[in-house]
Amino acid sequence: MVFARTCLTSVSLSLFKRRHHSVVRDTIFALSSGHGKCGVSVIRTSGPASGDALQLLTGWKQLPPPRRVTLTSLLCPTTGELLDRGLVLWFSGPKSFTGEDCCEYHVHGGPAVVMGVLQALGTVQMLRPAEPGEFTKRAFQNGKLDLTEAEGLGDLIHAETEIQRRQALRQMSGELGQLYQKWSHRLVTALAHVEAFIDFSEDDNVEENVLTSVDSEVKNLQEELEDHLKDSRRGERLRDGLHLVLAGATNAGKSSLLNLTSQKPAAIVSPIPGTTRDVVETVLNIGGYPVIMSDTAGLRDSEDPVEKEGVRRAKERLDNADILIAVVDASKVPITRISILAHLKSLLSFPSSEGKLREVLLVLNKSDLLDPPGHAKVQELCKDPELPTACFLSCQTGQGVGDFIYILKQKLEKICGDPLHGAPSLTQTRHRLHLNKCLEALEQYTIYREQDLVLAAEELRISYRELGAITGRVGVEGILDIIFRDFCIGK
C-alpha cells in the first residue's frame, strides 16, 4: 500500500510527460526580435509544420541542411509575390531551442516586410501565432530547460544592468536548478529508505539504523535550506532593483541630490521648505546594480493636509528602503556626533528601534557653505565609528558627489554580492515560497517521526514535491502559465 503511494509520484510524472509529449502540436510563429524599424528582424517558427512552411515560402523541393544559413527569396505561398530576400536557418528537432523542428527567417526589419512574412506564415496550414513565452514553454516541456533555467532566460531578456545579466546567465546555466535537484535526489533517497522500513522492518530485512541516517539527512537538508534562504533576499533584490530612499529635513537638499545623481531634473528644487510632496522615483544603474532611487517629502510636523500625506508616504518608503540615504544640511545642524545622531533619531528613528538591518548612508550636504574650520570638523566627523558611513558633499558645486556614488556602489556590493561568486542565489519569490513549504514539511517530518512513520513519510513526500515544483519536475501544470506569462511574444 505504501509502495502504491510511492509509485504515484512517478506515475503522475510520466502521465504529465506523456500528456505533453505525444500530442500533435500546432506549429507556432512569431517575430522574435524587437518591434519597430530596424536593420534585421528575426521571425521564428517551431513545430512539425515548420518544414512545410519553409518549403512553401521558398519554393524549395527539399529542406536545407540544418544549422546552415541560406540566402533566399521569400514568397507569399498564395500569390507567389516576392516578400523579401533574406536568410533562413533551419533546425531539425530535437536539436533546436524548443526541441521541435524550427526555422528562423532573418528579413529586412521594416514593418511591411515583417507583416508580409507573418501573414504568409499565417496562411500555411497548422500554423498559428505564438503566445507570449510559448517558444520557451515548449523548450521546457521538451526537456531542453528546467524551470529555473527558463526563468533565468526570462531574467536575461529583462536584465538592464551588467550585474543583473551575470545573475541571469548563471541561473540560465542551470546551476541553481542543479542545486535543487541534488536536494531533491537526497530527499527521494531518504523517502525510499523510510518506505522500505515501513514495508519490510517486520521481516527484519531492514535495520533500525536506516531511520537514524534518514533523520540526520533530514537535519542536514534543513540546515542547508535554511542557509540558502537566509541570504537577505540578495538575488531577488538584484533581480527587482534595490530601493534607495532619500530622506531628511525640509531643504536639506534631497531633491537636489536626486537630480544630480540621475543627471536630470526629475524633482522640483526650490528654497521653499516642503517643496517635495509626492515620492519621486528614478531608475538608475549604479556600478552595474539596478537601483530605484526615491526622493521624499522633507520630514517635519505640518498642519497642511497635503504635506502631512507627503510625510506619511515618505515614512512608508523609508520602511521599505534597502539603503536609507539620510541627507543633512551641514550648514544648519551643529557638527557634533551627538547633534547629528539626535537629528537622525528625531527624523528617521535611527538607530532603528526594531533593530532592522538597514543600510544607512549619511550625506552631509552644502559643503560649499562651510568655512575651512567647518570643513575640518565635518571631515573628522565622517571618520566617527559611532555614526553611519558618511559623505560630505555639495549639490551646488558637485564636490564629493563622485565619492558618494562610489560609497553607494560599495554598499550595493555588500548587499547583493557578486552573483558569479559563492553559491547561486535564490532569485524569485516563487522559489522562496516552495523552499519554505519544503522546510515546513521537513519540520513536520521530525514531529511525526516518533508517533507515526507513515505520516512522517508523507511529509517527506510533500517536501519532495515542493522542491520538484521549483525546477518543474513535479506537478507544475498549474503554474506554467503564470511563469511564461511574463515572457514576451516570440520568446
Ligand X SMILES: Nc1nc2c(ncn2[C@@H]2O[C@H](COP(=O)(O)OP(=O)(O)OP(=O)(O)O)[C@@H](O)[C@H]2O)c(=O)[nH]1
Q: Residue 72 binds what, of ligand X, Mg ion, K ion, none (CB under 5 to 8 Å, by partner type)?
A: none
Q: Which stretch binds ligand X (CB under 6 A): 65-73, 84-92, 365-373, 455-463?
A: 365-373
Query: Where is 117: in which H helix or E strand?
Result: helix 111-122
- State which of residues 9, 50, 251, 463 lies at the interface with K ion (CB under 5 A): 251
DSSP 174: T
- State which of residues 32, 255, 394, 428 lies at the interface with Mg ion (CB under 5 A): 255
132 versus 274: smaller Cβ distance to ligand X: 274
Residue facing ligand X at closest CB distance: 298
Q: Which stretch binds Mg ion (CB under 5 A): 26-34, 184-192, 241-249, 254-262?
A: 254-262
In single-letter form, the type of residue at position 23 comes to V
Cβ(176)–Cβ(471) below 8 Å: no
Please state the closest distance from residue 257 (CB atom) to Mg ion, in A: 9
State the Cα–Cα distance between residues 245 and 263, nearest whole angstrom.
17
Q: Which stretch binds K ion (CB under 5 A): 198-206, 269-277, 285-293, 471-479?
A: 269-277
Q: Does 302 engage in binding with K ion (CB under 5 A)?
A: no
- State which of residues 58, 96, 98, 394 lies at the interface with ligand X (CB under 6 A): 394
Q: Residue 69 binds what, of ligand X, K ion, Mg ion, none (CB under 5 to 8 Å, by partner type)?
A: none
Q: Cβ contacts of residue 375 below 8 Å, gap of 6+?
A: 367, 392
Count other C-beta atoms under 10 Å from residue 324's C-beta. Answer: 25
DSSP 369: G
Q: Which stretch binds ligand X (CB under 6 A): 63-71, 225-233, 389-397, 401-409?
A: 389-397
Ranges within 298-337 binding ligand X (CB under 6 A)? 298
Q: Does 276 engage in binding with Mg ion (CB under 5 A)?
A: yes
Q: Does 275 engage in binding with K ion (CB under 5 A)?
A: yes
Q: What is the DSSP string of 304-335?
A: -HHHHHHHHHHHHHHHT-SEEEEEEETTTS-S
Cβ(457)–Cβ(451) below 8 Å: no
Query: Where is 109: in which H helix or E strand?
Result: strand 102-109
Please state the closest distance from residue 341 (CB atom) to ligand X, in A: 20
Q: Which stretch binds ligand X (CB under 6 A): 58-66, 91-99, 250-258, 423-431?
A: 250-258
State the Cα–Cα distance between residues 481 and 267, nearest whole angstrom.
39
Ranges within 259-298 binding ligand X (CB under 6 A)? 269-271, 273-276, 297-298
State the Cα–Cα distance between residues 235 and 422, nearest whole angstrom.
12
In single-letter form, the type of residue at position 56 comes to L
Instruction: Count the helices and strands in the chain (H runs, E runs).
Output: 17, 12
Cβ(292)–Cβ(329) below 8 Å: no
Please state the closest distance from residue 294 (CB atom) to ligand X, in A: 12
State the Cα–Cα distance between residues 277 and 283, nearest whole angstrom.
19
Q: Does 396 engage in binding with ligand X (CB under 6 A)?
A: yes
Q: Which residues bind ligand X (CB under 6 A)?
A: 250-256, 269-271, 273-276, 297-298, 365-366, 368-369, 394-396
Q: Which residues bind Mg ion (CB under 5 A)?
A: 254-255, 275-276
Q: Which residues bind K ion (CB under 5 A)?
A: 251, 275
